[in-house]
């Protein structure tokens, strides 16, 4: 059926590519040639980049519809502010295009890059596509153009690419840049100082590249760190290229002793969902990973990284090994489960690092979600008031000390988070602890048993202290023992168990 025979016209969102007219697709050229109406956005000065890209394909008999923004970066006196002014503009622009479509005319809306990738066309699409036949013609994005102009891979293998608008708050940009493998930050211009600050704060500035007006006149590329903030236009992007690809193309550099550091990271109680963005970034940036093999297995394998796994009982040796690597210029991540500062590797690393021979090796500790916090969240809020954290392991301290601390904490009516309750070689501590607790707590006191929280064998249940069976507790279990104020109820028709400790304590 020809256009003239259709009851309505057809709407096209036409991607023009990043700027060079020769990068327009054949389909884009065909659609423009066959359209009755060509629409394009512009600022109030009337110049349209989209129109300039497609200029040689426009006919004298094309009906042109310039969609002129009422405001771009300047302020507005619209009573509803910037957002309301733009919404009103989009409604009016859509109405103008709808009039052509209802008259049976074919309308091609021109869009730089790809129409549905941070493009103005999408505002027309959302308002018209459910009313008129519509086709979107994809275009080469500025992301692809920037990577091509830099001549370096953007992503390779299992790497993750993150696309970010530079208009995000600097702290949010920092977190996302720290957590990802590769990234492109769009919409620079006035946002550039904050974007540069985010790259620096995330430790990624040295890797970052800059591309301005890719494939257009005035194209410029370089290192982001060298760019003058006052010279950056809106049509510029910041790029974190592939670490794998960069490693393949860069000249090998021998590490300098001053470049090394040790970062002690916590992976949380289980897999990737529990990692903080800062920890993700540190793990990705490391040359070497050092840790208990079980915890190393939680970290994705990255080409070029060296992994040094060991048994769980050689903490001092592991710490010394990591510091020796860093002293030779390696960036080392020491991997702990949970939080590295809670019964984990941070103490061991800092203890060895206090020796004179390692005094100049930088050491950082990054927090992780603790087993206690993870189990508490699954159960409700048993740690909602004061609580004490005690390890039942007598491998590094005598049982008499453990028992004394248990008595002190339970007599103070604190909720208890009991780590390392038992193992194949330690089977009696939980029973001893239960007897001691029952001297001060009611048998009805709720006890949360969290096992493998976040893992495939996760089990979280609550029992009475009097019904606690020590033989059911192993090394992968944490116990949260309530205080006299801790509540334990069942909610809803499913009888879900919820445990919480009120923040308000009764007056004595």
Same-domain pairing of 69 and 150: no
Does 505 reside within a domain?
no
**The pLDDT of residue 53 is above 80:** yes
Distance CA 234, CA 333 (A): 37
Same-domain pairing of 127 and 227: no
Domain range for 124: 3-139
Q: What is the DSSP letter of 338?
A: B
| pLDDT tier at 247, thresholds 50, 70, 90 | low
Last residue of a domain, one of 335, 366, 397: 366
Task: Please write the tens of the pLDDT for every residue from 264-280.
Answer: 999 999 888 898 888 98
Distance CA 227, CA 233 (A): 11
Does 393 reside within a domain?
yes
Last residue of a domain, one of 217, 249, 281: 249
Same-domain pairing of 117 and 59: yes
Report the CATH number that the domain containing residue 184 is assigned in CATH.
3.30.950.10
pLDDT at residue 425, rounded to an integer: 66
Task: Please write the tens of the pLDDT for every residue from 469-505.
Answer: 998 898 889 999 999 999 999 887 777 889 999 999 8
Does 330 reside within a domain?
yes
Does 508 reside within a domain?
no
Same-domain pairing of 208 and 321: no
Starting at the edge strand found earlier in the chain, the sheet holding 134-137 runs: 63-68, 37-42, 107-111, 11-15, 134-137
Question: Which of 230-239, 338-347, 424-433 has the lowest average pLDDT?
Answer: 424-433
Distance from chain centroid for Cα 256: 30
Does 344 reside within a domain?
yes
Same-domain pairing of 97 and 152: no
Same-domain pairing of 14 and 119: yes
Same-domain pairing of 135 and 148: no
Same-domain pairing of 24 and 70: yes
Into how many domains does the chain fold?
4
Same-domain pairing of 339 and 434: no
| pLDDT tier at 281, thresholds 50, 70, 90 | confident
Does 176 reside within a domain?
yes
Strands 288-292 and 331-336: parallel
| pLDDT tier at 302, thresholds 50, 70, 90 | confident
Same-domain pairing of 118 and 131: yes
Q: Contact 109/13 with Cβ under 8 angstroms?
A: yes
Last residue of a domain, one of 338, 366, 394: 366
Count the residues in the chain. 508
Query: What residues have CB less than 8 Å from 136, skipping those under 6 apart?
Result: 12, 13, 15, 115, 116, 125
Task: Please write the tens of the pLDDT for every residue from 404-427.
Answer: 999 999 999 999 999 999 776 677
Burial category of 250 from C-beta neighbours within 10 Å (exposed 0-12, middle 13-18, buried 19 and up): exposed
Task: Please write the tens of the pLDDT for every residue from 129-150.
Answer: 999 999 999 999 999 999 999 9
Report the CATH number that the domain containing residue 316 is assigned in CATH.
3.40.1010.10
Same-domain pairing of 386 and 495: yes
Same-domain pairing of 8 and 83: yes
Does 507 reside within a domain?
no
Task: Please write the tens of the pLDDT for every residue from 72-125.
Answer: 765 677 777 878 888 999 999 999 999 999 999 999 999 999 999 998 999 999
Does 316 reside within a domain?
yes
């Amino acid at each position: 059926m020809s256009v003239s025979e259709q009851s309505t016209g057809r709407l096209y969102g036409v991607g023009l590519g990043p700027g060079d007219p020769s990068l327009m697709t054949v389909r884009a050229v065909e659609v423009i040639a066959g359209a009755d109406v060509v629409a394009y956005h512009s600022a109030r000065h009337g110049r349209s980049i989209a129109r300039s890209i497609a200029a040689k394909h426009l006919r004298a008999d094309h009906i042109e519809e310039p969609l002129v923004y009422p405001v771009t970066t300047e302020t507005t006196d619209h009573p509803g502010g910037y957002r309301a002014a733009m919404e009103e503009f989009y409604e009016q622009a859509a109405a103008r295009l709808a009039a052509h479509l209802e008259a049976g005319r074919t309308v091609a809306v021109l869009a730089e890059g790809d129409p549905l990738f941070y493009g103005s066309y999408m505002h027309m699409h959302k308002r018209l596509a459910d009313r008129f036949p519509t086709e979107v013609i994809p275009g080469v994005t500025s992301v692809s153009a920037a990577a091509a102009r830099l001549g370096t891979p953007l992503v390779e293998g299992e790497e993750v690419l993150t696309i970010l608008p530079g208009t995000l708050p600097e702290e949010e940009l920092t977190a996302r840049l720290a957590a990802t493998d590769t990234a492109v930050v769009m919409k620079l211009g006035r946002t550039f100082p904050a974007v540069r600050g985010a790259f620096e704060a995330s430790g990624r500035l040295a890797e970052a590249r800059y591309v301005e007006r890719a494939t257009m006149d005035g194209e410029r590329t370089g290192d982001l760190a060298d760019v003058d903030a006052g010279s950056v236009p809106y049509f510029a992007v910041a790029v974190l290229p592939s670490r794998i690809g960069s490693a393949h193309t860069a000249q090998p550099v021998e590490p300098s002793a001053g470049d090394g550091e040790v970062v002690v990271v916590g992976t949380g109680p289980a897999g990737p969902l529990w990692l903080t963005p800062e920890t993700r970034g540190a793990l990705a940036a490391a040359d070497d990973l050092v840790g208990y093999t079980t915890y190393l297995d939680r970290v994705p394998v990255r080409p070029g990284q060296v992994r040094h796994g060991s048994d769980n009982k050689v903490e001092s040796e592991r710490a010394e090994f990591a510091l020796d690597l860093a002293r030779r210029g390696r960036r080392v991540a020491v991997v702990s489960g949970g939080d590295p500062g809670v019964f984990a590797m941070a103490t061991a690393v800092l203890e060895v690092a206090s020796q004179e021979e390692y005094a100049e090796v930088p050491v950082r500790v990054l927090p992780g979600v603790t087993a206690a916090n993870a189990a508490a969240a699954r159960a409700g809020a048993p740690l909602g008031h004061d609580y004490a954290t005690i390890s039942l392991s007598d491998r590094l301290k005598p049982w008499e000390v453990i028992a004394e601390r248990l008595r002190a904490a339970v007599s103070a009516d604190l909720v208890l988070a009991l780590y390392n309750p038992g193992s194949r070689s330690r089977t009696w501590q939980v029973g001893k602890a239960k007897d001691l607790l029952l001297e001060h707590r009611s048998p009805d006191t709720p006890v949360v048993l969290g096992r493998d929280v976040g893992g495939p064998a996760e089990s979280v249940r609550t029992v009475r202290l009097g019904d606690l069976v020590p033989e059911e507790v192993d090394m992968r279990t944490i116990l949260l023992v309530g205080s006299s104020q801790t509540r334990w109820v069942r909610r809803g028709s499913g009888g879900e168990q919820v445990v919480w400790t009120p923040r308000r304590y009764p007056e004595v």
